[in-house]
Structure 1
Amino acid sequence: MDAAARTVVARKGILAATVADIAAEAGKSTASFYNYYDSKEDMVRQWALRFRDEAGERARGVTAHGLSDRERVHRAATAHWNTYRHRLAEMISVSQLAMINDDFAQHWAQICAGPVEFITETVVRAQARGHCPGDDPHLLAEAIVSMLNQFCYTQLAGGADPDDTACITTLSNVFYRAVYGTDPPEEDS
């Protein structure tokens, strides 16, 4: 039932998907859905817990010692992309339900909290070395996480099969420049 639900949700979104759609995709009766879950929301809650655990595992490699700034950012972008790719239905479901349900808004905030905290700490360390002066570390982190989420959604939810390497490289480059890049030279007046 999970595979069918993930397929339907990735295609239609959780708000448009019905239990009947999920059951039809699974080749089962609508009533059989309720052998697994109490509701669509219950299904997404369970998915969110699994997602949280998987995302935590993927993020461990980002904090390894001895990485350059570029390597750390690339690993973070890779972990974000791969988690989104492997848990697209979960990401779509929780983010859509977060717009209309306070419980899911909290789930979404928890999903984003880890990356935001990591990037905030990254920005603070970078600022100590003279990068991104004047930026609010937490706001910059939230902007980067929002960019990562929206880019992953745009690329993966459209039904096409994007080039993982190209997408990860793009995310990594934008993330890296946001934190470690320099301002362009001022033009002569």
Structure 2
Amino acid sequence: MSMSSDSAIGPVTAEQPSTQRGRSTRRALMDAAREVIARVGYADARVVDITTEAGKSVGVFYNYFTDKAELLRSMVDEFRDQAYTRGDTVMTGDREPYEVIRDIVTVYWTTYREHAPVLSGVFQAAQIDSAFVDYWRDLRAPARTLIANNIRRLQAHDYCPGMDPDITASAIGAMLDYFCYVWLVEGGEAGRSSVTDEEAIDTLSRIWFNALWWKTEGAHGTT
């Protein structure tokens, strides 16, 4: 139950500049954009703010990105690639299902936390640019497909009968996405502004596990 199952839905790394200097400049612009978005938000982030933060000229920016929207997509692609790469290290084998789920949740929570300013930018961008709605939906789709396929395998062994795999996968994915957004971007809930990594990961893992690993009375079979 790794984050990716084949190359058709795995990460696609954006083309990198051919020189070390070019790669360093592109990296500097992306790191600067992360700082600016974290400080003022995506909508108010200007190209000149990003280049100033990076110590580069505005002209240099356009050697690497057509606009700040393309820059944001490149940064989110980096989040996706890192999440898949880390997810593929999760061992399954004969391990207990809960432990596998917990490892996957740990990957997502920790990777989201590292990229939180960037992911907040996607939510903001979707409010002003409808293209980002489709972009985020497409980016999320492979993980939802993997969860849905896992649910189908569980149902073949009499677990979670009657649940629609695709809708359930969407619900689990939305829980992960928005829970991370609330606590890692928005600053928590009213009356509580923080949660420990252990609390967050344990809560998400238990909800995911308990939603699927159950049988009706008299059902038989094992995973």
The 5 Å alignment of 1:124-139 reads: 124-139=152-167
1:3 aligns with 2:36: no
Contact 1:94 1:107 in 2 (8 A): no
Q: Which moved more, 1:69-78 or 1:24-33?
A: 24-33
Amino acid at match of 1:7: E
1:167 aligns with 2:195: no
Task: Tell me how far 1:42 sits from its aligned partner.
Answer: 1.7
Identity between Structure 1 and Structure 2 (%)? 36
How many residue pairs align between the two structures? 183
Contact 1:61 1:75 in 2 (8 A): no
Q: 2:210 aligns with which of 177, 181, 187?
A: 177
Contact 2:51 2:58 in 1 (8 A): yes
Q: Which moved more, 1:141-150 or 1:153-162?
A: 153-162
Q: Which moved more, 1:51-60 or 1:147-156?
A: 51-60
Structure 2 residues without counterparts, runs of 5 or longer: 1-28, 188-192, 217-223
* CA gap 1:42/1:182 in 2 versus in 1, 3 angstroms: same
Task: Measure, in 1, the Cα distance between the counterparts of 2:108 and 2:137.
Answer: 15
Task: Measure, in 2, the Cα distance between the counterparts of 1:11 and 1:115.
Answer: 30
Q: Which moved more, 1:69-78 or 1:123-132?
A: 123-132
1:187 aligned partner: none
* CA gap 1:2/1:70 in 2 versus in 1, 3 angstroms: same
1:89 aligned partner: 117
Higher helix residue share: 1
Contact 2:155 2:161 in 1 (8 A): yes
Structure 1 residues without counterparts, runs of 5 or longer: 184-189
TM-score normalised by structure 1 residue count: 0.80
Task: Measure, in 1, the Cα distance between the counterparts of 2:50 and 2:174.
Answer: 29
1:70 aligns with 2:103: no
1:79 aligns with 2:112: no
Amino acid at match of 1:67: R
Task: Measure, in 2, the Cα distance between the counterparts of 1:156 and 1:24.
Answer: 26
Q: Which moved more, 1:167-176 or 1:46-55?
A: 46-55
**Matched residue of 1:65: which SS?**
coil
* CA gap 1:86/1:78 in 2 versus in 1, 3 angstroms: same
TM-score normalised by structure 2 residue count: 0.69
1:111 aligned partner: 139
Task: Tell me how far 1:144 sits from its aligned partner.
Answer: 0.6
Q: Which moved more, 1:64-73 or 1:142-151?
A: 64-73
Task: Tell me how far 1:140 sits from its aligned partner.
Answer: 0.3
* CA gap 1:142/1:63 in 2 versus in 1, 3 angstroms: farther
